[in-house]
Amino acid sequence: MLGITDISEGIKEMVLEIVGDHMGMPAPTLSIDNSIVEELGADSLDKMELIMTMEELFGIKIPDNQVAGIVYVKDIVSAIEKSAMSSTQFKRARESWKMVQSTVSQNYPT
C-alpha cells in the first residue's frame, strides 16, 4: 500500500528529475545531498526558477523564509513536504487515502 514513505520517495524522484532537467544534468547523477549553487552551478535566478517550478507542479507555496534556507536539493524536498503536509488539499487527500486503505483491507483481507 502507498504510504507517507512512498509519497516522500516519489517527491524526491520528481525533484531530482526537475532539477536535472533545469540544470541540464541527468537525474541519476544527482543526489538530494547536492548543493544547488556550489555543486550544481545554479545562480540565484536558477534557484528561484526551480522553486517557482516546484510550487507550480506540486500546487504549493513555499514561504519566503523557507526559500532563503534552501541550499541543498534535500532542502527543496523538505520544503515541498512541509508545505504539502500543511495544505488543506493534502490533508483531504490523506483522509481519502485512509478511507481507500480501510475499504481495501476490509474487502481484501491478507
Q: Which of 6, 21, 33, 43 is catalytic?
A: 43
Burial class (CB within 10 angstroms; exposed 0-12, middle 13-18, buried 19+) of 74: middle
Which pLDDT does position 79 carry in this prediction?
A: 92
- Summarised one tens digit per residue, pLDDT across range 16-36 is 999 999 999 998 899 999 999
CATH classification of the domain holding 86: 1.10.1200.10
pTM of full prediction above 0.85: no
Cα 109 to chain center, whole Å?
Answer: 32
Which pLDDT does position 3 carry in this prediction?
A: 57
Q: What is the mean pLDDT of residues 44-71?
A: 91
Which pLDDT does position 93 carry in this prediction?
A: 62
In a domain? residue 50: yes
Q: What is the mean pLDDT of residues 92-110?
A: 64
**What range does the domain containing 84 cover?**
4-104
Percent of the chain with pLDDT over 70: 72
Mark whether 64 is an active-site residue.
no
